[in-house]
Structures are given as C-alpha cells and as structure tokens.
Amino acid sequence: MTPPTLTPLESHGRRGRLLSIEPLTPESFAPFGTAISSPFPDTLNNVPAKVPEPLHSPHQPTAVFANQNSALKTSPVSKFVDNYPVRSSSSPADGAAARSRPQMSMFSCFPRNLSGVGMIDTSSSSSSSTTTSSRPGQKKRQQLAFEVSVLERHPYTTQTFSPLGLSSEASRGQSTPTTVFLVIVAPSLSSSSASAKSETGQDVEIQNPPDLSRLRAFVATGGQAVTYGPGTWHAPMAVIGRRRVDFVVTQFVNGVADDDCQEVLLGDNAVGVDLGALDLDLQASDHTRAML
C-alpha cells in the first residue's frame, strides 16, 4: 500500500532546498540513536598494557580485557530496545503476531548514483554548472544530490545497520573510500499530528510526524554502523559510490505492519542532500533527473 503524502508545510519552505552533509560521529548522532565505530585508533594493533580511554567518551563505554587478555571488549556499543506494547487477543493467530521478537535481516543496497533511484541533478542549465566534457563520448559532469522523498520510522524498536565488507577498502590500501552511505534522520514531533492525503485522496492525520525543520544528513563509511532510536524518522538506506553494500539489520518485530514500520511521502516537502562535498568520483545514471 502506498504511504500517505504530507500536505505542503508553510514552515518548511519551498521544495528544492538542499541539506549539507556532515560526518557521522557518536556525538553528532546522539539525538537520533547511536553511531557505532571503533573506540580505538587504527594504529592500536598490539595488546596494550592497560585499557585505553575510548575515542568518543562518554558516548562509548570503557573496554575491559577479554579472551585471555588477547582482546578488548567494549559493551554495550549500542542500545537494543524493545518497546512493543503487550496486546491481548482472543485469537491465537493475532496473539502470536502481536508478540515481539528479535529479527536479523540482510539488506543488499545498490549505489543510488548507478541506479538513479532518488538522484537529482542540481546543475540545471545555469552558467555556473560544470556540464562540459573533455573527451568525445564522455558523460557530462553533473552536480548530484539525493532527494529525500520518503521517511519511515519504527515506533517501538531500535534498528541497527551494520555494513559487511565495506571497511576492507582501507585494508586494501585505499585511503579514500569509493563507497559511502547516507544516514538521513529527523526527530518525531511528539504528541502532534500533521495533515496528509491517502493514495485515494482521503484526508488522514499522521501522528508524531517528522520534524522536517530538524532534518539532518550524515555520511558514514565502512568502518561504521548505525542504530536508529525508536521513533526516529529516517530515509531508506542510500548507498553512494561504486559498490553494493550488504547490511546486517537487527531489530524487533511483531508482524503488525503499522507497529513495525510507519512511512510517509514528503511530496512537495521533499528536500535534497547535496553530494558535492563527498570526495568521490561519482558515476551518474542516465536515469538521474533534473531538480524541479
């Protein structure tokens, strides 16, 4: 079923505004959940004489020695929250569906710039845009952005995305990553509602809608994982670069669609995330569309 579409918000401003990206750090992401990264520098490769302080204290706990003092264990590195309500039901089938349980999934996410899904070209036809090519047959350079057109949230559970394999770029001697992922979030407007239209044009109310005035966009690399806090609105995972990224996704579910995931289309409230600051040589899909 198609999610409802938010009606235009006067306070949000015109469609087409661009968000700047910022690095994902435990400090910057704390209002929305947990940014998971190593508490130790890359240069620490031998067992230390004493436990070092974490790089991002107080957002990371102090480690302890483990495994015959051959390892350092840092725990917990993220919250794992189950706030599902306990539902009573006379139907065994309904009762089974309403009981929450932990679930691990894998999302194999393909680069958005290669598929063109959600990608927009902000260069338009202005004289400042870099649309010339140096060789015959070479694609014109574009000023790319990612359009945030849909947000989702999981009202009762954390959701953790852990990338597999992407951090190995550094071990292969690549100082600059070829692939990153975007973490785009907004807090909920608690105890509030927003007007929206259903797929059939009916008026509906979105409870605890996203606060689009506080929408933020972070960029993460392969050495990081991310946990969205319960109720945090976020864009579907967006990989940018050259490689597919497989994410192990951990959360609770109960099988009730509106309990597990709530979605809203932004419609005329959609915004773009400026990708110009990424140190990536992005290949653009022929399906990338011009910004409206």
Contact yes or no for 228/33 (Cβ under 8 A): yes
- Per-residue pLDDT tens for 84-112? 998 755 444 555 557 999 999 999 999 99
Distance CA 189, CA 225 (A): 26
Q: Average pLDDT, whole number, for the chain?
A: 88
3 state SS of 268: helix
Q: What is the pLDDT of residue 133?
A: 40
- Per-residue pLDDT tens for 30-59? 999 999 999 999 999 999 999 999 999 999
Q: What is the pLDDT of residue 281?
A: 79
The pair of structure tokens assigned to 94 is: 């309904």
Residue 172: alpha-carbon gap to chain centroid? 26
Set out the domains of the chain in order of their start, with CATH numbers.
5-37+100-290 (2.60.120.480)
Which of 78, 77, 96 is closest to 88 using CA atoms?
A: 96
Question: Percent of the chain at pLDDT above 70?
Answer: 83
- Per-residue pLDDT tens for 261-279? 999 999 999 999 999 999 8
Distance CA 167, CA 190 (A): 36
Tokens 């509106």 -> residue: 258
The pair of structure tokens assigned to 68 is: 């015959």
Sign of the four-CA dihedral 9, 11, 12, 16: positive
Which of 109, 180, 112, 176 is closest to 148 using CA atoms?
A: 112
Query: What would you report as the CA-atom Rg of the chain, rounded to the nearest whole angstrom?
Result: 21
Contact yes or no for 179/241 (Cβ under 8 A): yes
- Per-residue pLDDT tens for 198-207? 999 999 999 9
Helix or strand (DSSP H, E) at 113: helix 112-115
- Per-residue pLDDT tens for 223-258? 999 999 999 999 999 999 999 999 999 999 999 999
Q: What is the pLDDT of residue 1?
A: 82
| Overall pTM surpassing 0.85 (yes/no) | yes
- Per-residue pLDDT tens for 121-139? 987 634 333 333 444 444 4
Sign of the four-CA dihedral 225, 247, 21, 223: positive
Separation in Å, CA 149 to CA 37, 124, 146, 285: 28, 20, 9, 19
pLDDT at 13 over 90: no
User: What letter represents residue 157's amino acid?
Assistant: T
Distance CA 289, CA 292 (A): 9
Q: What is the pLDDT of residue 168?
A: 56
Q: What is the pLDDT of residue 15?
A: 62
pLDDT at 116 over 90: yes
Distance CA 168, CA 246 (A): 13
Sign of the four-CA dihedral 157, 252, 78, 76: positive
CA atoms within a 13 Å half-sphere pointing along the CA-CB vector of 13: 10
Q: What is the pLDDT of residue 143?
A: 87
Q: What is the pLDDT of residue 96?
A: 52
Burial class (CB within 10 angstroms; exposed 0-12, middle 13-18, buried 19+) of 34: buried
β-bridge pairing 271-274 and 179-186: unpaired
The band of 169, judged by pLDDT with boundaries at 50, 70 and 90, is low
Q: What is the pLDDT of residue 156?
A: 98
Distance CA 152, CA 147 (A): 15
Per-residue burial over 48-76, b = 16 or more CB atoms within 10 Å of its CB, e = otherwise:
eeeeeebeeeebbeebeeeeeeeebebee
